[in-house]
Amino acid sequence: MPLFWKPYKSDVTNFIDELKAKKPSLEEEQRAGRALLWDKPIDAQAQAEYRQARVAQQPYVYQTKV
């Protein structure tokens, strides 16, 4: 390995590093946005009811029952 070897950083990685340096609050804003839509508590009782109410799919969905 050469003495002055630098690890490779892609253009995308450089762009993200620059973006984070310009706007330090970016990651916190991303976490807040994620919390709005994705990080929700799961209602176990509702999930159990959904599983019980599920209708089994036919092996061939376009086949009508004769």
Q: Rounded distance, CA 31 to CA 60, Å?
A: 42
For the chain, the distance separating the N- and C-terminal CA atoms, rounded to the nearest angstrom, is 73
Task: Judge whether residue 66 has pLDDT over 70.
Answer: no
* Tokens read off for 58: 């036919």
- What does pTM read for this prediction? 0.49
- DSSP-assigned letter for residue 24: T
Q: Identify the residue with better confidence: 55 or 49.
A: 49
What would the DSSP string read from start to end of the chain? Answer: --TT------HHHHHHHHHHHH-TTHHHHHHHHHHHHT-----HHHHHHHHHHPPPPPSSTTPPP-
**To the nearest whole percent, how much of the chain has pLDDT over 70?**
94
